[in-house]
């Protein structure tokens, strides 16, 4: 396959120049912020939800190059959008209309050519491909024109919504919307949750070859089985690659393999049950294949630096307590909360709780149990702490899967309403007058975005995503175009509380202070 790897030259320089022209935050504003709340939603690109936002760098500014998707040869312009290969035949929603659409972005919730009704944002779409190497291939050096070619969702990647009916859109209009904010790492939720808490990529010294991706040394992309892959108009990309798996190839210098796609945590709750007759607090360490667990990680996290400075913090998860009880059942017991995608189920996603991968939270040790009790909490705890005005200085909140806006198992609007309701609770709390809320998405979920990501390092950043800053001190009705990514959240917390800097937090990125007056 002939690859197109256009350079992204001048993107970073221009963004940094724009940063230097922004008004500086008042010297004492950040000191007034006593509580920082980070709400982390799922799998939406900026253009997918905010591409029509007034004054933002939206779809209207997309270049012809990024609008027109290419086939897998990297040269041929697709005659139309490819079918949605990931759509289930049993789905109540018919997605076949996508394959009849012209090759360009389209509004999912608008009437389609031929009088086909639009699909409301309250309806879940099929899931989209969102993996480490696929994301890089789709971005194609910044051209953003191979999204449809390398997704099982085909042309659905080009879909977007009129988000003006969303509750969070209204909050973005009132406060600050960041329109130049990128996911910290290429790929999916697992890796981007790590980049939120440690700006690092987890590793293993024992990764098997069968769990390691095979990469074409000439392109840095996934190696193909055949030199000329089938057209995206005839099949999805599954089956094209020699091996797309959990780990990047082992680093010769360190001897480590880096986990770039989802792998299960070593502690419960985990997608891997305990070993038969083993410690119910652990995932089976001998499990293989897709049930393989990641060794407990020891890299320094934002939690470590906060604790070292004596700053209290907590990660609140929807359905955490229920998932913990679910995961510590005997190995043969059916799981009813962990990865339960049934309608109305709590649907706890273990790879959305990054601290549960770290040795500091090992439940088999006295210290680990203490750390878990102090810092890993449930949504019910969050509600109680908001009402009592007893939130710690730094809060991370991860909604349960049924409320996190992830395609495939939930929709946009239920999560939008939930997050807006949490924001309203925070605004009514005794701590609001000294609070900053950051609502961000972990990654794009495979949806197209027209903005070319800047070049930083081998891990990212990936595609542009939405971020909203809500605070009594936030700029009002403001679109912030400062170059930022997921590590900007780490940089903001580090600056506000005078913490030790984490080495992976990118100095080229803003620290969100430009969103404040």
pLDDT tens string, the chain, 517 residues long: the values are: 433 333 344 444 444 444 444 446 666 899 999 999 999 999 999 999 999 999 999 999 999 999 999 999 999 999 999 999 999 877 889 999 999 999 999 999 999 999 999 999 999 999 999 999 999 999 999 999 999 999 999 999 999 999 999 999 999 999 999 999 999 999 999 999 999 999 999 999 999 999 999 999 999 999 999 988 899 999 999 999 999 999 999 999 999 999 999 999 999 999 999 999 999 999 999 999 999 999 999 999 999 999 999 999 999 999 999 999 999 999 999 999 999 999 888 999 999 999 999 999 999 999 999 999 999 999 999 999 999 999 999 999 999 999 999 999 999 999 999 999 999 999 999 999 999 999 999 999 999 999 999 999 999 999 999 999 999 999 999 999 999 999 999 999 999 999 999 999 999 999 999 999 9
CB atoms under 10 Å from CB of 58, counted, come to 18
CB atoms within 10 A of CB 397: 23
- Residue 328 per-residue DSSP state: T
What's the longest Cα–Cα distance across the chain?
A: 65
Based on DSSP, count helices (H) and strands (E) in the chain, helices before strands: 13, 14
Whether the pTM exceeds 0.85: the reply is yes
Residue 25: both structure tokens together: 């935050």
Residue 108 contacts residue 161 (beta carbons within 8 Å): yes
Q: Give pairs for 52-56: CB < 8 Å, separation 24+.
A: 52/160, 52/162, 52/163, 52/164, 53/163, 53/169, 53/172, 53/177, 53/179, 53/479, 54/173, 55/479, 56/177, 56/179, 56/479
């Amino acid at each position: 396959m002939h690859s197109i790897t256009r350079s992204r030259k001048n993107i970073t320089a221009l963004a940094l120049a724009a940063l230097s022209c922004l008004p500086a935050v008042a010297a004492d504003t950040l000191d007034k912020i006593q509580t920082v709340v980070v709400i982390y939603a799922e799998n939406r690109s900026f253009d997918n939800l905010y591409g029509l936002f007034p004054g933002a760098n939206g779809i209207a500014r997309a270049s012809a190059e990024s609008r027109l998707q290419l086939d897998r040869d990297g040269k041929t312009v697709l005659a139309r959008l490819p079918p949605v290969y990931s759509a289930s035949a049993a789905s109540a929603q018919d997605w076949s209309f996508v394959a009849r659409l012209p090759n360009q972005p389209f509004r999912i919730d608008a009437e389609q050519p031929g009088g086909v009704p639009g699909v409301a944002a309250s309806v879940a779409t099929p899931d989209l491909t969102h993996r480490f190497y696929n994301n890089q291939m789709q971005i194609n050096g910044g051209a953003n024109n191979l999204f449809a070619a390398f997704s099982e969702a085909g042309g659905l990647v080009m879909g977007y919504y009129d988000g003006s009916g969303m509750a969070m859109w209204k909050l973005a209009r009132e406060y600050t919307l960041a329109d130049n904010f990128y996911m910290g790492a290429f790929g999916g939720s697992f890796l981007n949750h790590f980049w939120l808490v440690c700006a690092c990529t987890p590793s293993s010294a024992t990764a098997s070859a069968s769990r390691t991706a095979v990469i074409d040394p000439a392109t840095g992309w996934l190696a193909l089985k055949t030199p000329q892959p089938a057209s995206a108009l005839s099949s999805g990309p599954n089956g094209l690659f020699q091996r797309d798996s959990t780990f990047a190839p082992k680093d010769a210098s360190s001897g480590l393999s880096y986990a770039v796609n989802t792998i299960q945590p070593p502690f419960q709750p985990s997608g891997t049950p305990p070993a038969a007759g083993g410690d119910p607090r652990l995932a089976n360490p001998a499990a293989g294949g897709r049930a393989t667990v990641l060794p407990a990680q020891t890299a320094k996290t934002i939690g470590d630096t906060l604790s070292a400075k004596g700053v209290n913090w907590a990660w609140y998860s929807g359905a955490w307590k229920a998932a913990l009880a679910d995961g510590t059942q005997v190995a043969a017991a059916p799981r009813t909360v962990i990865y339960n995608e049934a309608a109305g189920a709590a649907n706890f996603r273990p790879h959305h709780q990054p601290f549960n991968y770290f040795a500091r939270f090992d439940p088999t040790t006295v210290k680990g149990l203490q750390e878990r009790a102090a810092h890993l909490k449930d949504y019910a705890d969050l509600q109680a702490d908001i009402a009592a005005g007893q939130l710690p200085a730094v809060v991370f909140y991860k909604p349960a899967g049924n409320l996190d806006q992830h395609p495939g198992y939930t929709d946009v609007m239920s999560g939008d309403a939930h997050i807006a309701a949490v924001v309203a609770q925070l605004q009514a709390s005794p701590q609001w007058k000294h609070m900053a809320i950051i609502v961000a998405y972990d990654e794009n979920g495979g949806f197209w975005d027209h903005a070319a990501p800047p070049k930083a390092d081998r891990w990212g950043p990936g595609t542009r995503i939405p971020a909203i800053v809500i605070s009594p001190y936030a700029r009002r009705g403001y679109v912030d175009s400062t170059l930022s990514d997921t590590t900007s959240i780490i940089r903001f917390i580090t600056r506000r509380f005078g913490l030790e800097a984490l080495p992976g937090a990118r100095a080229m990125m803003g620290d969100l202070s430009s969103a404040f007056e």
